[in-house]
Amino acid sequence: MKEPGIRNEGGSQGEGYMHGLAIDAVIFGFHDRQLKVLLMQYKKSGVFALPGGFIRDKENLNDAAKGVVSIRTGLENIYLEQFYVFGDYARFDPTPMKTIMKANGVEAGDDHWLFQRFISIGYYALVDFTKVVPMPDQIFDGCDWYELNNIPPLMQDHNAIILKALEALRTGLDNKLVAFNLMPEEFTLGDLQILYETILGKKLLRPAFQRKMLSLGILERIAKKWTGGAHKAPYLYRFV
């Protein structure tokens, strides 16, 4: 999906797009024992936001969401989960978008379609951090990873959207085994435990965690990880 920019292709009335509906994507990655989120910074305004976009009149919702994530990560095969709909009237605030447009020299009246109230459909995506190439475009100064415990103030209710996505991610750890989408192709059980602990925000007992993971029958042991020593090298696994 090609999203409209501040000089949006839909014009001031948003021709070709569904009005009042938007998509916000929380893209999670895991690197250096930290859970990270991909954020955008709008050009010349200092406004930070989640990657987002709109739905064309004749476009499937999930296809639009995949487009939002793909255009920012450079990836096509992405784990994507719809987790919540954000529709409180309190989230309606056209000020950030007006600030963005003004900072970039775009004159727009109060009836511009991007200044109207939007209900946002939240998706979270889980990606292999090492394969992502963050991709901004002409309306952004940056598209970068931020540690979950170091998220800057975001526009509207985007900080709250991240917290809601984290809740959904935690719920999916056991009943959907979603964490494997954040891991590289090969990993140790220690690596996997660190990921679980980071998402859950608490320590786990190593023997119990390893027994649980191995009992699921979804891991294939490959070989020992080379550590430079002759003994006690951990085994590498991959998700079957």
pTM of the model: 0.90
Domain count, the chain: 2
- Matching residue, tokens 């023997």: 207
AA letter at 48 = F
Backbone φ and ψ for 17, nearest 5 degrees, come out as: -120, 150
**Residue-number span of the structural domain to which 223 is assigned:** 183-239
State the burial class of residue 207 (Cβ atoms within 10 Å of its Cβ: 0-12, 13-18, 19+). Answer: exposed
Q: How confident is the model at residue 44 (pLDDT cuts 50, 70, 90)?
A: confident
Q: What is the pLDDT of residues 48-96, one digit of tens each?
A: 999 999 999 999 999 999 999 999 999 999 999 999 999 999 999 999 9
Q: Has residue 2 got a pLDDT over 80?
A: no
Q: Has residue 225 got a pLDDT over 80?
A: no
Q: Which of 136, 165, 181 represents a domain boundary (last residue)?
A: 181
Q: Are 214 and 226 in contact (CB under 8 A)?
A: no
**Percent of the chain predicted with pLDDT > 70:** 92
AA letter at 123 = Y
Residue 140 and residue 212 in one domain: no
Residue 83 and residue 165 in one domain: yes
Residue 50 and residue 79 in one domain: yes
Distance (Å, whole) CA 175 – CA 160:
24
Residue 77 and residue 152 in one domain: yes
What's the whole-number mean pLDDT along residues 156-173?
Answer: 96
Residues 6+ apart with CB under 8 A from 200: 170, 173
